[in-house]
């Protein structure tokens, strides 16, 4: 099962590489809001990705993190899709929930299970830990709910996470907001993926901050 999934991902990755190879790459980078430099062998684009910078070199299709960490195949696919799909439309001032993105309402239960429930379980009664993790990742504090912040997953893909803390009367709840332009930057299926990647980073950062607190 895992092997089959990896084969599918590899095929998707190879297709994305081929599509970008056959496109006007500099035009794609500009539309995605990326800076790039020309080298002796090709181009290098610099992709702000959460709290790191990914250096992406063409024609070698190599990815290098400013943090020196491994970049997963899933992340590479999202990055390529972002570059390929980028419409160049600027971000607006509005924010809409996941279920209001055209074509995604029917997929909300899956989004809730993969993205929201893990965060709700971890932070439902601890908004400070939620905020600390988000801000530590470079998030911008917001004024929604009992605690909220916006992470810039990609230059033109902000994701706002909002927590309503639970109490004796009401259970906790959590939701996300997106810029309406997101469908001009990511395919519908990738919106779940990038949100899951964000959720995982928040949880990991919270664990790291907790361990630091224990050590101190």
Residue 90 located in a structural domain: no
30-55 residue pLDDT tens: 999 999 999 888 999 999 999 999 99
Give the pLDDT of residue 212: 72
Per-residue DSSP letters for 175-188?
EEEE-GGGGGTS-H
Residues 23-49 as b or e (16 or more Cβ within 10 Å = b) = eebeebbebbbbebeeeeeeebbbbbb
Residue 137 located in a structural domain: yes
> In this structure, what token pair is assigned to residue 121?
């379980």
Task: Report the SS3 class of residue 13.
Answer: helix
- For the chain, how many structural domains are there in total? 2
pTM > 0.85: yes or no: yes
Phi, psi of 6, deg, nearest 5: -65, -40
* Residue from 30, 20, 26, 67 nearest 155 by CA: 30
Per-residue DSSP letters for 66-96?
TT-----HHHHHHHHHHHHH---PPP-S--E
| pLDDT over threshold 70, residue 214 | no
- Point out the domain boundary residue: 63, 85, 107: 85
- Point out the domain boundary residue: 28, 57, 85: 85
Rounded percentage of the chain residues whose pLDDT exceeds 90: 87
Residues 113, 76 within the same domain? no
Q: How confident is the model at residue 213 (pLDDT cuts 50, 70, 90)?
A: low
Mean pLDDT of 102-120: 94
Identify the residue with better confidence: 53 or 1. Answer: 53
Q: How confident is the model at residue 5 (pLDDT cuts 50, 70, 90)?
A: confident
Mean pLDDT of 69-76: 96
Domain that holds residue 34: 2-85
């Amino acid at each position: 099962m895992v092997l089959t999934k990896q084969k599918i991902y590899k095929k998707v990755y190879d297709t994305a590489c081929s599509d970008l190879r056959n496109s006007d790459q500099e035009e794609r980078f500009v539309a995605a809001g990326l800076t790039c430099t020309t080298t002796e062998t090709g181009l290098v684009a610099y992709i702000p990705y959460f709290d790191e910078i990914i250096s992406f070199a063409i024609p070698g299709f190599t990815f290098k993190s400013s943090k020196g960490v491994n970049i997963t195949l899933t992340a590479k696919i999202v990055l390529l899709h972002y570059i390929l799909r980028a419409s160049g439309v600027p971000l607006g001032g509005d924010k809409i929930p996941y279920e209001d993105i055209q074509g995604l309402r029917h997929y909300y239960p899956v989004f809730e299970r993969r993205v929201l429930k893990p965060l709700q379980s971890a932070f439902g009664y601890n908004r400070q830990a939620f905020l600390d993790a988000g801000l530590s990742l470079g998030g911008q504090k917001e004024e929604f709910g009992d605690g909220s912040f916006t992470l810039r997953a990609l230059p033109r893909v902000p994701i706002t996470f909002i927590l309503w803390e639970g109490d004796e009367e009401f259970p906790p709840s959590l939701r996300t907001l997106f810029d309406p332009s997101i469908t001009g930057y990511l395919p519908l299926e990738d919106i779940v993926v990038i949100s899951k990647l964000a959720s995982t980073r928040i949880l990991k950062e919270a664990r790291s901050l907790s361990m630091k607190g224990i050590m101190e």
